[in-house]
Amino acid sequence: MAINWFKYSAPTTFYGLAGKLIPWFALSAAILFAIGLYIGFVVAPVDAQQGEFYRIIFIHVPSSIISMFLYLIMAGYAALGLIFNTRLSAMMATAIAPTGALFAFISLWTGALWGKPMWGAWWVWDARLTSELILLFLYLGYIALHASIDDPRRADRASALLAIVGSVNVPIIYFSVQWWNTLHQGSTIKFTGTSMHIAMQQAMFTMLAACWLYAIAVVLARVRSIILEREKHTLWISELPEVKG
């Protein structure tokens, strides 16, 4: 039996689907967080050069990756909303922005905590760090611009342009360690392989999966509120069991 996925591009059907998916994503995220933290702090060995301090990477690397990917997904949804004028795309972009901003903040915060014992400084104006800080400002700019315009459709269009233009920053973040002579280390995990211990890899990828599932759960929960708010004048909203109360 073929599933018509396009029907879930309408807020009416997506609202129910999101409601069913949230508990599964949230539960899986909680389990994977517990497993990832266990492997990261109990199973993974101490690093020969960095000692225990390297364990910050199990939250730093996943949050950095997710902050970049969420921006691209947000810009993609914003572009879809701008080009095809689809309601749900703009709502999804709006729902992603706060979570993306928080992951960018966690990335910068944990990076500073790692930098102090390793480099002797909380912050340096390194290309990788600076471009990640710009990413945080882009998220905040998107949120502020969207909130400053009363008409939601106009707000969607204006902030979509910012999201699309800002997406040029994501490849700059990723390639910054290759393009410039940075203090930040290059990629440890490459397509050609890695020198990381297997337990370190397991902890990092488990935490990455946990962060992804958490981000999906929280974005779906937020988009449901946005759908409720924007579609409140429609009949289907007034017939929802939670609205009838």
Beta carbon of residue 116, minimum distance to another protein (angstroms, whole number): 7
Report CA-CA distances (Å) from 104 to 6, 55, 117.
31, 19, 21
> Token digits for 241?
């069991």
In terms of C-beta density within 10 A (0-12 exposed, 13-18 middle, 19 or more buried), how is residue 95 classed?
buried
> Of these, 61, 106, 213, 216, which contacts another protein (CB under 8 A)?
106
In angstroms, the CA 211 to CA 33 distance is 8
Q: How far apart are CA 236 and CA 232, in angstroms?
A: 9
98 near another protein, judged by CB under 8 A: yes
Extended strands (E) in the chain: none
Closest CA to 17 of 196, 181, 165, 216: 216
C-beta closer to another protein: residue 80 or 203: 203
Phi, psi angles (nearest 5°) of residue 51: 65, -140
Q: Note whether 242 binds another protein by CB under 8 A.
A: yes
Binding letters toward another protein, positions 10-49, x by CB under 8 A: ---------------------------x---x--------
Binding mask 59-88 for another protein (x = CB under 8 A): xx--x-------------------------
Q: Which of 18, 32, 39, 56 binds another protein (CB under 8 A)?
A: 56
Binding site for another protein (CB under 8 A): 37, 41, 51-53, 55-56, 59-60, 63, 98-99, 102, 105-106, 109-110, 113-114, 116-117, 214, 218, 221-222, 224-225, 228-229, 232-233, 237-238, 242-243, 245
